[in-house]
Structure 1
Amino acid sequence: MNAEMWTAVSGGVVALASAGVTAYGARSARRTKRQENRDDFLAITTQQGAAIERLEARIQRQENEAEKQRERISDQDEAISWLLHRVRSLVSHIRKAGLEPPPAEPMSERAARYIRHIDA
């Protein structure tokens, strides 16, 4: 073998070695299926965690609003009860004076569900 042959052979060996290292480097730089699955799982759990936090915040707002509405309804119930008592006492006072109160205007069905047994 002469020098040119050795040069050609060594060039081929270097080229093969370089191709092998390049292929190995490309393979090792690529993510494995396990790594991809792990990252997918992390992304999904992160998204789910954010969605759960949004839902919890929405539920908390709805619970706060429901509490305000319950309080408002309770106050309105108290006011209606007081008004009913006041109307009844006025009707009673008018009747004791020997007079008759004016006839009541017709009541809507919606109001009648809440206000029953009014003497006026």
Structure 2
Amino acid sequence: MAAASAAGGVVAARSARRTKRQERRDDFTVVTDRMDKEIKRQGAALEEQQEQITGQGAAISWLVVDRRSLVSYIRKSGLEPPLARPIPERARPYLDSIDV
């Protein structure tokens, strides 16, 4: 009787165990869920950075237009505006398209 009970316990324990395939599937699901969360987080960070860059571009454009109008006003007054400071090397690639 004890042997039959032990054998029954082994069979029940074996059938309750998860297969390797089930374990891999569950691991894959966990990993993909984490990846989805990370991708969404990175996307939100990129959107935030894009918004910041757009705002910085608008600020630079405004400054350029404001400087041009100030120089124009000074010249119309019969004066000569002071010479512009040199553009830093780091900023040149971004200001090449702007007539400063």
Scaled by the length of structure 1, the TM-score of the pair is: 0.68
Tell me if 1:75 matches 2:55.
Answer: yes
> Aligned-pair distance for 1:22?
3.5
> Aligned-pair distance for 1:76?
1.0
Counterpart among 21, 24, 28 of residue 48 in structure 1: 28
Cα RMSD for the two superposed structures? 2.4
What is the aligned partner in structure 2 of residue 117 from structure 1?
Answer: 99
Larger gyration radius, structure 1 or structure 2 = 1
Supply the distance in 2 between the matched residues of 1:75 and 1:49 (Cα, whole angstroms).
Answer: 39
Tell me if 1:85 matches 2:65.
Answer: yes
Mapping of residues 1-120 of structure 1, within 5 Å = 22=3, 26=7, 29=10, 31=14, 39-115=19-95, 116-118=98-100
The superposition leaves residues 4-63 of structure 1 with CA deviations (integer Å, 9 ceiling, x where unpaired) of xxxxxxxxxxxxxx8xx838x54982548xx87x61111111111001000000000000
Identity among equivalent pairs (%): 39
Supply the distance in 2 between the matched residues of 1:108 and 1:60 (Cα, whole angstroms).
Answer: 37
> Aligned-pair distance for 1:65?
0.6
> Aligned-pair distance for 1:112?
1.6
> Aligned-pair distance for 1:100?
1.0
The superposition leaves residues 95-118 of structure 1 with CA deviations (integer Å, 9 ceiling, x where unpaired) of 111111111111112212222321
Scaled by the length of structure 2, the TM-score of the pair is: 0.80
Aligned residues: 96
5+ residue gaps, structure 2, are: none
